[in-house]
Amino acid sequence: MSRIEIFNSEGFRHDGRRFDELRNFTCTIGDHPNLDGSSSVKLGATKVSCMVVGPYNGPPRLNFSIDVTPFSTFERQARKNEKRLQELQSLLVTSFTSACATAELPGTIDVRIQVLAQDGGLVSACTNAATLALIDAGIPMKDYICACSAGIYDTTPFLDLSNAEETDLSFLTIGALGNDSDVLMLLLENKIPADHLPVVMDMALSGTQLVRQVMDDTVRYYTQQRLAKRKLTGL
Amino acid sequence: MPSKRKFEVSMASESATALDHVSLRSVKGKCVKIVREQYLRTDIPCRSLLCTRCNTDLSVALPGSSPMLATLSSAPPSTDSLGPHYAVPDLSALTQAMDCFESSKLFYDVIILQSVLEQLRSVSTPLYRRLKSVIAANNKRFVVFHNLFHKPSFVAKQPAETFDHYGSRCVLSAASWYAKHIPDVNIVVVSAGLIETNDSSVTVLPLSEYIPQFSGTASLLDSMLRSEPAIKKNPNNTVYFSEHFPTSKILGGVKSGQLIQGKLHISHYNSNEGHIYSSDRDDTILIIGKDNLNRAFNDDIVAVELLPQSEWKTELVTLDTVKDVDEDDSNDFLRTDSNISKKPTGKVVGIVRRNWRQYVGHIDIRSTPDILNPTFHGITNVLVTPMDRKIPKIRIRTRQAGSLVGHRILVMPDTWDTDSRYPDGHFIRDLGPMEDQDAETEAILLENDVQYQPFSQAVLDCLPKEGHEWRVPESKSDPLWNKREDLRNLQICSIDPPGCQDIDDALHARMLPNGNYECGVHIADVTHFVKPRTPMDNEAAARGTTVYLVDKRIDMLPMLLGTDLCSLKPRVERFAFSVIWELTPDAEIVSTRFTKSVIKSVNAFSYDEAQKRIDETSNSDELTKSMRMLLKLSKQLKQRRIDAGALNLASPEVSVRLENEQNDPTGVEVKELKETNSLVEEFMLLANISVAKRIYEAFPQTAMLRRHQPPPESRFEEFSKELKKLKGLKLSTKSSKAIADSLDKCIDPKDPYFNTLARIMATRCMMSAQYFASGQFDYAEFRHYGLASEIYTHFTSPIRRYADIIAHRELAAAIGYEPADSRMHKLQEEHLLSFMLVRALRVTQLSRKRG
């Protein structure tokens, strides 16, 4: 028997959530006033911060770098999984290159993501943080890219897996472009039976809409604050 | 791909607040930071019918989960002093009196707290499982209340708080919440420990005061007795055993190699001697004498310290040295025979995990002669001698000793202290008088861990609604006919032992225009009725196999399926899973195909009837002809198998003669083997092999296969030595072929039974065959030694073996009949399942032996 009960017979997950509940998702933008764009995202106990520099002189393209701090997981460890991070970086580059009008960019943009704490949902947290930081930097984008993960336990789809669930279940991460939920990014690293796949994708897509709502509210809130500040200072 | 179905997802923080647990733990010597988020909700229902405020439809939208319906009755049990009340047991109550919670006499409307459930899980897995099954049965109205997810009743653990103290705080907090939430009913916290509360709305009652308030609970009190300090027969505090090492020392010792950890196997012949196998040393370590066994039971995982080399001894193997050993002089074995190599001996210094279960036994009258006095009615200590000779006597305290003498009783050991010669246990249940057929049958089933309870309602609900009226649909456009071949026109018959009701298999053969034969094996399509992950499937998997006893059969599947709907009865249309070959006249396979089908068996023969029909030369109807074809081919198949080195080890099948249903057995007869037995056997083997190849091709990692390893030479040493000494015969063990040949020569002209005896002895020397998933081993290791086949599986008896059901599902997926079940992708689960099946099969063998 595994250490934790993933899903008990009364329908609770190990952390008290229902199958269709997202963890606490909060975000801020403009944390670093000196940078062109910045954001931080908290998804449950996962914390990610993102910085954007650019556009600066250079070929029109997006660079991503992901830095996983050694204290972010439960065991302090030197860099590992370098390959996994590279894969994640290239996934983000392709997704964002198609979402931003990259060809018309005036120069190179560096996106740097720092993972401060990990408790599952790393890919979705990184994607959401990058979206917010790019918006903060004023980079033109077609729409928000909002990501959310979903997995499957037996036949029940689970929204937004925590670390403990990710180790036990098959799951996928979807990045959707905007409101009409075009799937821009789909990452599935283990197996999900084909007949269950649509349900899991639906679950993740429903999650992205919730995420989009929170991100949109945040962006509007910070923008209004900035506008208010501008009026005050008379700029 | 997504169907644009919208889920009404929400953020957990809308109905709950998050709480972060950060704790530091040491895992494998490293400091590890555990971050766990927990959501405290306000929408958890109390699940009482008296409550109008709680929303119980919370999980209605949840697929596959039972909604949290209000279960606690509005008229709960009531006693004079407590009034109508809901009981809230704490951890100590559950660990000490699980038998009471399972009893039908008391404990209705019980609130099991999540905190208690989790603590119980960490303390004892068997007890946790038992409680879960009481909750799932739902006839005693047990509800789980998730107090750790419930904001109003949640209490956080204080930094240096003990496990027990925190547990009782959780219980009290939840009980107070309930008391305020449902004021009409009293909330009674039942505990076997010490809990104090200053909340007047909650009553805290010790178990020993709670139980007697209900009538008919006297015998249940016996099972509680161990909580009172047992009166030791040992007033002068003699210490019989040395203390076990503390856990940390054991773990360290095992890691550094000073101690050896292993499962203790007690000798069949002497309960004071056992051994463990150490994989590091690749050797067994003997543990001799009660002092060295140091309170370990058979099957416990123990840590052993090696004794100095001067105390190493030879294993006690020959029967003539076994004496009936009295309990007190256990160490007096003289093993000075220096010719035989000495084995390391050891001493148990700690028990890593107890594998205690419930044991069947009887009261040893010698231990307390005064209980026979009819006027004696007090509480007394008695010793119980378990049926399993490897288990030491267990001391229990009981009020009903007089009436239990001469009965089979079920007891459970609880503790074994250093100052006690015997383990202390408690009485659970009286099975009935000894040598009574029912009591003894139940004892055998319990001892072998066979689940013999009738099928639960949940399982029966999975049966087709039509019951015995179920028919193959007439119209071929019915979805059930989808991808099914119509084989009703074939001359199919089944050949089984006389009186067989669960007919798994049927056969047919016919001549093809090109001179080849078409042969078919048709197996009952059990998986059409038993869908994966239904309660019926789970139950069948847990049972593993049908168990045959002398006078009864404990079915793996409900009767309706086993003996009717799945059974390939004659002159009835039935669903089947068919394997059809084209064979040349020399019995070489030209092609094989598999299909789900509908068949209509022409006749069901017993072996005798089939034999007579074939032998009767005047019979020339089509069915007889096809049976002759099958017989001819089967002989060729058998010859080829024997040439390849297959062993004929089959121990003789015996049948027990009964005068009538109620009577005791009157004799045992050896079943006579006819040619038709071997006809059926050969085609079943061929079907199994063909299916094994096909599912391995489709699922290289997860195919359910069966293999049989060649026995190591050393196993035969003893046997061939004896053969040589007694009869001057030589046994060659180079290959299976060599063994088969030399066994054929083991004939004593004076004793016709000698050859069979030799075969039985040889069988005992073999390894036992095992189930495995194909990913576990290399192809070269798949070999089935006894059958001399490269690859093998079980496919032909799905009514009575669960392994066959898995093979059926895999084959159905392999031929594209239905999509593979997601479970099959989980390799690990399958491993687990295979272990379970092995266990189940072993159990079957054991009970057959004894039964």
Q: B20 and A22 in contact by Cβ < 8 A?
A: no
User: Both tokens of residue B587?
Assistant: 């019995």
| Helix (H) or strand (E) run with residue B684 in it | helix B675-698
Looking at residue A151, its pLDDT comes to 92
Relative to beta strand B654-658, strand B665-670 is: antiparallel
* Domain B45-50+69-216: assigned CATH number: 3.40.50.1010
Residue B168 in tokens: 């009782």
Q: Which amino acid is at B389?
A: R
Q: Nearest 5°: phi and psi at A192?
A: -125, 130
Residues 30-69 of A with CB under 8 A from B: 44-45
Residue A48, classed as helix, strand or coil, is strand
- CB within 8 Å of chain B, chain A residues 143-202: 154-157, 159, 162, 164, 183, 191, 193-199, 201-202
CA distance B519 to chain A (A): 36
- The reply to whether A206 touches chain B by the CB within 8 Å rule is yes
| B11 to A75: CB separation less than 8 angstroms, yes or no | no
Q: Residue B484 is encoded by which pair of tokens?
A: 């099914």
Measured between its terminal Cα atoms, the distance across chain B in Å is 57
CA distance A190 to A94: 21
Crossing angle of helices B535-543 and B827-850, rounded to 10°:
50
With b meaning 16 or more CB within 10 Å and e meaning fewer, what string describes B162-173? eeeebbbbbbbb
Of the candidates B11, B66, B533, the beta carbon closest to that of A25 is on: B11
Separation in Å, CA A234 to CA B475, B514, B538? 84, 100, 73
CB contact under 8 A, B144 and A191: no
Distance from CA of B145 to the nearest CA of A (A): 9
Cα maximum dimension of chain B? 95
Interface with chain B: mutation pick from A10, A24, A213, highest number of B CBs within 10 Å: A10
CA distance A13 to chain B (A): 10
Q: Which of A156, A183, A209 lies closest to B63 in CB terms?
A: A156
Task: Determine the Cα–Cα distance for residues B481 and B150; give it in Å rounded to an integer.
Answer: 51
Asked whether the beta carbons of residue B144 and residue A10 sit closer than 8 angstroms, the reply is yes
Q: How far apart are CA B599 and CA B520, in angstroms?
A: 11
Q: Look up residue B257 and give its amino acid.
A: G
Q: Which CATH entry fits the domain spanning B359-432: 3.30.1330.60, 3.10.28.10, 3.10.129.10, 2.40.50.700? A: 2.40.50.700
Question: Residue B571 has what DSSP assignment?
Answer: T
Q: Can you tell me the distance from the alpha carbon of A141 to that of A100, in angstroms, rounded to the nearest whole number?
A: 4
**Closest CB from B36, B125, B135 relative to A15:** B36
Instruction: Give the total residue count for chain A.
Output: 235
Hey, are the CB atoms on B9 and A19 less than 8 Å from each other? no
User: Sheet harboring A62-68: ordered strands across?
Assistant: A25-29, A37-43, A46-56, A108-117, A62-68
Could you list the mean pLDDT of each consecutive 10-residue stretch along chain B, which spans 851 residues?
59 66 64 78 83 62 57 81 88 85 84 91 83 82 88 85 88 91 88 76 84 75 58 63 86 85 86 83 83 88 86 59 43 46 84 86 78 66 87 85 84 85 85 83 78 80 85 84 88 87 89 92 92 83 77 83 88 92 91 93 89 84 88 91 75 57 59 79 92 90 84 76 76 75 76 76 77 83 86 90 88 84 52 53 47 37
C-alpha span between A161 and A172 (Å, rounded): 10
Fold of B257-353: OB fold (Dihydrolipoamide Acetyltransferase, E2P) (2.40.50)
Of the candidates B1, B12, B136, the beta carbon closest to that of A17 is on B12
Q: Are B361 and B385 in contact (CB under 8 A)?
A: yes
Pick the more confident residue, B11 or A123: A123
The pLDDT-based confidence of A80 (bands split at 50, 70, 90) is: low
Best residue in A6, A7, A12, A199 for a mutation probing chain B (most B CBs within 10 Å): A12
Partner B contacted by A4 (CB < 8 A): no
Per DSSP bridges, beta strands B603-606 and B493-496 are parallel
- Spell out the domain ranges in chain B: 45-50+69-216, 257-353, 359-432, 457-705+773-850, 711-766
Pick the closest to residue B605 from B718, B493, B457, B489 (CA basis). B493
Contact: B62, A75; criterion CB under 8 Å:
no
CB contact under 8 A, B65 and A196: no
Q: Which residue of A has its CA nearest to B34?
A: A74
- CB burial of A168-192 (b: ≥16 within 10 Å; e: otherwise) equals bbbbbbbbbbbeebeebbbbeeeeb
Is the pLDDT confidence value at A146 over 90? yes
Give pLDDT, residue B24: 63
Superfamily of chain region A25-233? GHMP Kinase, N-terminal domain (3.30.230.70)
Of A1, A117, A196, nearest to B125 by CB-CB distance is: A1
What tokens does B401 get?
């000793």
Encode burial over B626-648: b for 16+ CB neighbours within 10 A, e otherwise: bbbbbbebbebbbeebbeebbbe
What is the maximum alpha-carbon separation in chain A? 65
What is the structure's pLDDT at B316?
52
Contact yes or no for B149 and A16 at CB 8 A: yes
Look up residue B311 and give its two tokens: 């105390």
Whether B18 and A156 lie within 8 Å, measured CB to CB: no
Chain A: closest CA distance from residue B33 (Å): 5
- pLDDT value of position A112: 94
Token pair recorded at residue B248: 């940390």
Give B468's DSSP letter. G
ipTM field: 0.86
The minimal CB distance from A206 to the residues B7, B58, B59 is found for B7
How are beta strands B654-658 and B603-606 bridged, if at all? unpaired
Q: Report the sign of the C-alpha dihedral through residues B41, B47, B52, B57, in that order.
A: positive
C-alpha closest to that of B840 among B448, B313, B551: B448
Quick check: helix, strand or coil at residue B33?
strand
Chain B's closest residue to A190, CA to CA, is: B825
Look at A203 and B125 and tell me if their CB atoms are within 8 Å. Answer: no
CA-closest candidate to residue A41, choices A151, A117, A153, A144: A117
In this prediction, residue B851 carries a pLDDT of 37
Residue A28 distance to chain B (closest CA, Å): 17
Count chain A–chain B contacts defined by CB atoms under 8 A.
135
- How many angstroms separate the CA of residue A182 from the nearest CA in chain B? 11
How far is the C-alpha of B88 from the C-alpha of B174, rounded, in Å?
Answer: 9
Rg, chain A, Cα only: 18
Is residue A125 scored above 90 in pLDDT?
A: yes
**Could you say which of B2, B132, B148 has the minimum Cβ distance to residue A198?**
B2
Residues of A in contact with B16 (CB under 8 A): 16-17
| A93-132 residues touching B, CB cutoff 8 A | 117, 119
B359-432: same fold as B257-353? Answer: yes
pLDDT at A50 over 90: yes
Between B216 and A161, the more confident residue is A161
Determine whether the interchain pair A156/B64 forms a contact, defined as Cβ–Cβ distance below 8 Å: yes
Q: How far apart are the first and last CA of chain A?
A: 64
